[in-house]
């Protein structure tokens, strides 16, 4: 062990001697410095730095050549392309208290911040999404425009209140961003489709019945405006609209991958920037881990797949990676891409490699590939802990990543990848946790769903797995074996009530018809599907068929069993689903986005019989409150012993159970 540390120290010293020019951060500017106290007694005090950095990339470097439209971006005199991004860093005030870890958390739609860490880890976030306008508190990236280039732009509008006169043309969810300007405001050179249900009902509206205009103060045809869509008679909440037009001057969004690569390479390996400004982390970082959740997890998958875990000087940037609840790749490296989407109609994301080992995508005719092909060739692959839950099967098309596009066999995992499944959780799991009897609270902007919101958490298990990933990176100690639904074990079935073994629960919807289908889209010859890169030359895309998907089977309670169940799922208060039913509006009766549902058990056997509910009551399961708490204590002890739960989280769950209203 002593020899291991000496070798590691020597290697680190050698890397830190690398010049800043190779890390390609040309200016590193700290604009704000704030001291914050330790998060608990005995933990280090922290300093939080905020600012921006400027970098350049070489379009001639093979590592950057894959960036769509980079060749058309304006260049400096030295032939490089410049960008600028924001950052925030939390580091121990005393460098001697630093753990040696850099943990980079990919912001989700610009939302990302840092705080003091109990373990002494350095925490970093930065901007990577070049289509978000600069704004306070948001991590952003300024990228150049490839002036003069054009291409098809597609924008969907759903859930718009009836009679709304006009809507802004912006993309993504959570943080709308302006879409490219149209080449012409002449609606005869664009198309607006309207549909009442599935794609078969889609029809083109007459060009005279809509306009690129603002009709909020002036009636149709309104005031000409390239950033607004106005309809004669207004929108209909029960219908969906698809606008396709010719856009101009795309931003080179794929630079976002290089910006994250360059910042972290600089923080790990450089002493100073090109102006001589010191790297605040110089000499303190020995290991780096990248994590991302949902959209950000898709970014992590794509960063690895496109080869951006190798810095321009050849070094591996991240030693470990945790793509969390990430079922696809991020549609970032695409002309006029919309990286803030979420597996909606006509949206790319599942077309490229979805598997960690090499798989022959015969169904779509795309040959053999994997997410690790490029990093395997350069020996820069990280150790990977992949985590996801039930909603990713139902709403985000996770199935092909496990069993391919033919759904015939499990795609094996390579030695550097572990996969862990959170059964019976909504997208990201409940952040409230605890043991609520009536479901979770709706989050801001949540759709109207039929079932109560799923209160089953995944964060506790993920915290334990992130610690296991850090141990794997630092010492080589492998995490527990992967645990997830597999075809070979009989865990995956068709998404119907009968195939799943779904119990007939009176008065509630069942899972049949709730799966978000995966069309086999053809976006035209300009799109490089395997790499999810290039130009979408066919919009809307042609649909060549539907990719088969499977979902986990359930037990007599309607709860999933494969994977790593939370304490709440092992001491259930009801049925926890990764799907829900949309209550109203466009698509009503189908899947409610990727929001999971909750169907509580009856409190007593008398109530159960009166309802005709086949699931045993809380009374039959636990007898009384003391019996419920005793069961929670037992499961917590088992989870801690098996490494699925940290001791602090276990103590909190027991306290929540004791304070709950269950069977009081």
Residue 353 is predicted with a pLDDT of 96
pLDDT, averaged across the chain: 94
User: What number of other Cβ atoms are within 10 A of residue 618's Cβ?
Assistant: 25
Q: For 341-399, give the DSSP string.
A: --S-TT--SSSS---SS-EE-TTTT--EE-TTHHHHHHT-PPEEEEEEEHHHHHTT--H
| Strand-pair partners of 84 | 54, 142
Segment 205-223 shows an average pLDDT of 96
Q: Check whether 4 has a pLDDT greater than 90.
A: no
40-72, pLDDT tens digit by residue? 999 999 999 999 999 999 999 999 999 999 999
Q: Check whether 140 has a pLDDT greater than 80.
A: yes
Residue 609 is predicted with a pLDDT of 97
| Kind of pairing between the strands at 101-105 and 122-126 | parallel
Q: For 390-425, give the DSSP string.
A: HHHHHTT--HHHHHTTTTSSPPPPPTTEEEEEETT-
Residue 19 is predicted with a pLDDT of 39
Q: Check whether 442 has a pLDDT greater than 90.
A: no
| Strand-pair partners of 576 | 598
CA–CA distances in Å: residue 253 to residues 257, 330, 593? 9, 11, 26
* 3-state SS, residue 16: helix
CB 49 within 8 A of CB 89: yes
- DSSP-derived secondary structure letter, 361: -
Measured distance CA(146)–CA(496) in Å, rounded: 47
Residue 2 is predicted with a pLDDT of 34
Residue 341 is predicted with a pLDDT of 84
Residue 662 is predicted with a pLDDT of 97
What is the pTM (predicted TM-score) of this model?
Answer: 0.95
Q: Check whether 11 has a pLDDT greater than 80.
A: no
Q: Which residue has the higher pLDDT, 19 or 494?
A: 494
Element (H, E) at 467: helix 459-475
Q: Check whether 8 has a pLDDT greater than 80.
A: no
516-559, pLDDT tens digit by residue? 999 999 999 999 999 999 999 999 999 999 999 999 999 999 99
Confidence of residue 23 (pLDDT cuts 50, 70, 90): low
CB 171 within 8 A of CB 233: no
Residue 529 is predicted with a pLDDT of 97
From 14-28, 77-91, 532-546, 634-648, the region with the lowest mean pLDDT: 14-28
């Amino acid at each position: 062990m002593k020899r291991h540390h000496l070798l590691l120290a020597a290697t680190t010293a050698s890397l830190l001697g690398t010049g800043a020019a190779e890390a390609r951060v040309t200016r590193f500017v700290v604009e704000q410095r704030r001291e914050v106290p330790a998060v608990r007694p005995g933990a280090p005090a922290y300093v939080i730095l905020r600012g921006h950095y400027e970098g350049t990339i070489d379009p001639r470097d093979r590592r950057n050549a894959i960036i769509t439209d980079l060749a058309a971006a304006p260049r400096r005199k030295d032939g490089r392309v410049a960008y600028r991004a924001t950052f925030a860093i939390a580091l121990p005030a005393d460098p001697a208290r630093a753990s040696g870890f850099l943990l980079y958390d990919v912001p989700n739609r610009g939302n990302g911040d840092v705080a003091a860490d109990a373990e002494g880890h350095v925490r970093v976030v930065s901007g990577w999404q070049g289509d978000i306008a600069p704004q306070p508190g948001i991590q952003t990236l300024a990228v150049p425009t490839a002036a003069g280039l054009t291409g098809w732009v597609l924008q969907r509008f759903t859930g718009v209140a009836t009679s709304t006169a006009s809507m802004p043309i912006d993309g993504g969810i959570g943080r709308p961003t302006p879409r490219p300007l149209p080449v012409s405001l002449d609606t005869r050179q664009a198309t607006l489709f309207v549909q009442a249900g599935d794609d078969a009902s889609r029809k083109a509206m007459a060009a005279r019945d809509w306009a690129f205009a603002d009709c909020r103060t002036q009636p149709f045809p309104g005031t000409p405006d390239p950033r607004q869509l106005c309809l004669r008679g207004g929108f209909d909440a029960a219908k969906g609209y698809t606008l396709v037009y010719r856009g101009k001057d795309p931003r080179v969004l794929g630079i976002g991958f290089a910006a994250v690569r360059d910042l972290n390479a600089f923080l790990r390996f450089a002493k100073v920037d090109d102006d001589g400004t010191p790297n605040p982390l110089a000499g303190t970082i020995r290991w780096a881990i990248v994590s991302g959740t949902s959209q950000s997890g898709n970014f992590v998958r794509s960063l690895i797949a496109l080869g951006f875990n190798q810095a321009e000087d050849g070094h591996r940037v991240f030693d470990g990676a945790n793509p969390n609840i990430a079922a696809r790749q991020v549609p970032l490296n695409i002309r006029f891409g919309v990286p803030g989407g979420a597996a909606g109609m006509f949206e790319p994301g599942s077309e490229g490699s979805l598997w960690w080992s090499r798989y022959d995508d015969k169904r779509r005719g795309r040959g053999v590939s994997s997410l690790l092909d490029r990093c395997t060739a350069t020996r820069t692959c990280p150790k990977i802990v992949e985590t996801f839950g039930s909603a990713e099967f139902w709403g985000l098309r996770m199935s092909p990543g496990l069993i391919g596009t033919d759904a015939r066999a499990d795609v094996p995992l390579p030695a550097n990848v572990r996969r862990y499944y959170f059964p019976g959780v909504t997208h990201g799991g409940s952040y409230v946790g605890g043991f609520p009897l009536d479901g979770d609270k709706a989050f801001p902007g949540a759709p109207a769903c039929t079932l109560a919101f799923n209160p089953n958490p995944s964060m506790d298990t993920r915290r334990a797995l992130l610690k296991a990933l850090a141990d794997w990176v630092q010492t080589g100690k492998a995490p527990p074996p992967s645990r997830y639904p597999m075809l070979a074990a009989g865990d995956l079935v068709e998404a119907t009530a009968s195939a799943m073994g779904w119990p007939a629960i009176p008065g509630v919807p069942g899972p049949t018809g709730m799966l978000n289908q995966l069309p086999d889209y053809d976006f035209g010859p300009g799109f490089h599907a395997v790499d999810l890169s290039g130009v979408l030359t066919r919009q809307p895309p042609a649909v060549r068929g539907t990719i088969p998907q499977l979902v986990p089977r359930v037990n007599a309670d309607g709860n999933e069993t494969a994977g790593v169940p939370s304490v709440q799922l092992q001491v259930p208060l009801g049925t926890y689903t990764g799907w829900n039913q949309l209550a109203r509006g466009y698509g009503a009766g189908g899947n409610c986005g990727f929001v999971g549902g909750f169907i509580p058990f009856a409190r007593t056997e008398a109530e159960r019989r009166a309802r005709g509910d086949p699931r045993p009551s809380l009374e039959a399961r636990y007898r009384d409150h003391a019996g419920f708490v005793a069961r929670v204590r037992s499961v917590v002890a088992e989870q801690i012993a098996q490494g699925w739960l940290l001791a602090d989280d276990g103590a909190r769950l027991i306290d929540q159970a004791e304070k709950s209203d269950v069977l009081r």
